[in-house]
Structure 1
Amino acid sequence: MGWKQDRAEIKRLMAARPDPNGRNDCDSQESRAVNAELDRKLREQPVWRRARVLYED
């Protein structure tokens, strides 16, 4: 998968998280599944791309 496709998927996963900022202690199966998939996608990317995805507005 190309970077643009990965980036779109990462953004989609970030938007799909039930508790995006972690303030509500949401520990549902859906939340864990989305976070695990997001974590896997981010770990596949080089460090500079991870930072770009996480800190980009």
Structure 2
Amino acid sequence: MAWKQDRAEIKRLMAARPDPDGKKNCDSQEAKAVNDQLNRKLAEQPVWRRGRFLYES
């Protein structure tokens, strides 16, 4: 099941973000790379699944 692998990858990427809430204005190369990879992975998901990742508590 590919969606389970995608879900695990997205959760891993979300945990790996150096500045998850954006309050520290972290513009490092690492932060940009992780955010780009996360955005690419989220864009591959259907809209309803994307919202679930972004807004679940």
TM-score, with length taken from structure 1: 0.95
Report the equivalent of 2:20. Answer: 20
CA distance in 1, matches of 2:53, 2:28: 25
The percent of aligned pairs where both chains have the same amino acid is: 75
Describe how 1:1-57 pairs up with structure 2 within 5 A. 2-57=2-57
Q: What is the CA distance between 1:51 and its match in structure 2?
A: 0.3
TM-score, with length taken from structure 2: 0.95
- Amino acid aligned to 2:41: K
- Show structure 1 runs of 4+ deviating over 4 A: none
Ranked by relative contact order (alpha carbons within 8 Å, sequence separation 6 or more), the top structure is 1
CA distance in 2, matches of 1:12, 1:21: 16
